[in-house]
Amino acid sequence: MGIVLGIESSCDETAAALVTTDRTILAQHIASQDEAHAPYGGVVPEIAARAHAERLAPMIEAVLADAGMSLDECDAIAATAGPGLIGGVMVGLVSAKALAMASGKPLMALNHLEGHALSPRLADASVEFPYLLLLVSGGHCQILSVEGVGKYRRLATTIDDALGEAFDKTAKILGLGFPGGPAVERLAREGDAAAVPLPRPLKGSAEPHFSFAGLKSAVLRAKESGEHRDADIAASFQQAAIDCILDRLAKAIGSAPPADTLVVAGGVASNAAIRGALETFATNRGMRFTAPPPALCTDNAAMIAWAGCERLALGHSDPLDIAARPRWPL
Ligand code: KG4
Ligand code: ZN
């Protein structure tokens, strides 16, 4: 059995975790910066980088203390090396390099999206390759065929906004604050999903790509018209998003290698309405559906440590001079 220390700092969560190759999360800490960014209605990169720099080192000490371990007992140090806000990514990656250098343990410089993509296998040992993955977060909206560690075939992506971004913008339009996804989901429960006519961008188009910019603009027009309850707008937006996801997934399945499991990951995967719709969709197609628990869907370090565990098992590691990458497609 191996133990990996994972570090996540690519956006506005500072996180550290210790995870074993047999799927035990020995310890994890996560500090959200929501309060620091809320006055600005979105993540401010400079504020995020400073907060990561202040919090990360004591947090790493805390997870080691929680697990009653020393750094020498870890088998590898894994950190997100991109994509993300470069200042924050550098704080995490440089910390991991320093710890790897001091301890002589291998460094794993990981793609944040790989952390999300492999997180279902941390939560559920029975998830085997290949599986079809809907990866929906604040910065990404993709359908991937996950064929092995490091073997990801992208079947679809967004041509404009990510789904989480659409949730956040809808929340802003409705005055729900930041981050918006959970607030929109809560309000949607009180609304009528058929009340507000909203578009389903790209529905029926030949390629399985996503587009959410037009939906967001329609939400703005619906709000400005003054004709609708906010809860109805939230519910109708969420339903339009679900309809788009299911249509695009159905299209992608036609171009993917056969997989018997559908998985959803990324921050938006913590949305219960979306999870429910995906479960029905998969069941109707004879596929199994699985999703990590919500705490493993939003950004966290356990998924990074787990991706490190997967790579450790294959004997991978990265050189200490590896660079952080603000853009890094999976
Ligand atoms: O994966 P994540 O934590 O960070 C990124 O890598 O982007 O995803 C954050 C995104 C935000 O846009 C947030 O509004 C959205 O996930 N989100 C949700 C929910 N919880 C988080 N969107 C819809 N419903 C939710 N319950
Ligand atoms: Zn993420």
CA of 153 to the centre of ligand 1 (A): 23
Residue 162 CA, closest ligand 1 atom number: 12
State if residue 167 touches ligand 1 by the CB under 6 angstroms criterion: yes
Judge whether 63 and 18 are in contact, CB under 8 Å. Answer: yes
State which of 10, 118, 137, 274 you would mutate to test the pocket of ligand 1, scoring each by most atoms of that ligand within 8 A of its C-beta: 137
State which of 89, 298, 327 you would mutate to test the pocket of ligand 1, scoring each by most atoms of that ligand within 8 A of its C-beta: 298
Residue 272 CA, closest ligand 1 atom number: 26
Please state the pTM of the whole predicted model. Answer: 0.95
Strand ordering across the sheet containing 131-136: 151-156, 141-148, 131-136, 261-265, 288-290
Q: Is the bond into 83 cis (omega within 30 degrees of 0)? A: yes
Residue 13 CA, closest ligand 1 atom number: 3
What number is the average pLDDT over the span 4-14? Answer: 97
Residue 297 CA, closest ligand 1 atom number: 1
Percent of the chain whose pLDDT exceeds 90: 93
Quote the pLDDT of residue 261.
Answer: 96
Q: Which residue ranges make up each domain of the chain?
A: 3-117+297-313, 129-291
Quote the pLDDT of residue 273.
Answer: 98
When mean pLDDT is compared across 3-7, 31-35, 161-165, the lowest value belongs to 31-35
Quote the pLDDT of residue 39.
Answer: 86
HEC letters along the chain: CCEEEEEECCCCEEEEEEEECCCCEEEEEEEECHHHHHHHCCCCHHHHHHHHHHHHHHHHHHHHHHHCCCHHHCCEEEEEEECCCHHHHHHHHHHHHHHHHHHCCCEEEEEHHHHHHHHHHHHCCCCCCCEEEEEECCCCEEEEEEEECCEEEEEECECCCCHHHHHHHHHHHCCCCCCCHHHHHHHHCCCCCCCCCCCCCCCCCCCCCECCHHHHHHHHHHHHHCCCCHHHHHHHHHHHHHHHHHHHHHHHHHHCCCCCEEEEECHHHHCHHHHHHHHHHHHHCCCEEECCCHHHHCCCCHHHHHHHHHHHHCCCCECCCCCCCCCCCC
Reported as a single tens digit per residue, the pLDDT across 265-310 is 999 999 999 999 999 999 999 999 999 999 999 999 999 999 999 9
Quote the pLDDT of residue 296.
Answer: 96
Quote the pLDDT of residue 146.
Answer: 96
Contacts of 187 (CB under 8 A, 6+ apart): 174, 176, 230, 231, 234, 235
Task: Identify the residue whose C-alpha is closest to ligand 1 atom 13.
Answer: 181
Q: What is the ipTM of this complex?
A: 0.98
Reported as a single tens digit per residue, the pLDDT across 57-98 is 999 999 999 999 999 999 999 999 999 999 999 999 999 999
CATH superfamily of domain region 3-117+297-313: ATPase, nucleotide binding domain (3.30.420.40)
Ligand nearest to the backbone CA of 43? 1
State if residue 137 touches ligand 1 by the CB under 6 angstroms criterion: yes
Judge whether 302 and 296 are in contact, CB under 8 Å. Answer: yes
Confidence of residue 43 (pLDDT cuts 50, 70, 90): confident
CATH superfamily of domain region 129-291: ATPase, nucleotide binding domain (3.30.420.40)
Q: Identical fold at 3-117+297-313 and 129-291?
A: yes
Q: Quick one: tokens of 41? A: 């209605």
Judge whether 13 and 31 are in contact, CB under 8 Å. Answer: yes
CA of 9 to the centre of ligand 2 (A): 10
Quote the pLDDT of residue 106.
Answer: 98
Reported as a single tens digit per residue, the pLDDT across 206-261 is 999 999 999 999 999 999 999 999 999 999 999 999 999 999 999 999 877 788 99
Judge whether 115 and 134 are in contact, CB under 8 Å. Answer: no
Quote the pLDDT of residue 42.
Answer: 81
Reported as a single tens digit per residue, the pLDDT across 104-114 is 999 999 999 99
Q: Answer yes or no: is 139 a known binding residue.
A: yes
Beta pairing partners, 103: none
CA of 305 to the centre of ligand 1 (A): 20
Percent of the chain whose pLDDT exceeds 70: 100
Reported as a single tens digit per residue, the pLDDT across 144-202 is 999 999 999 999 999 999 999 999 999 999 999 877 999 999 999 999 999 999 999 99
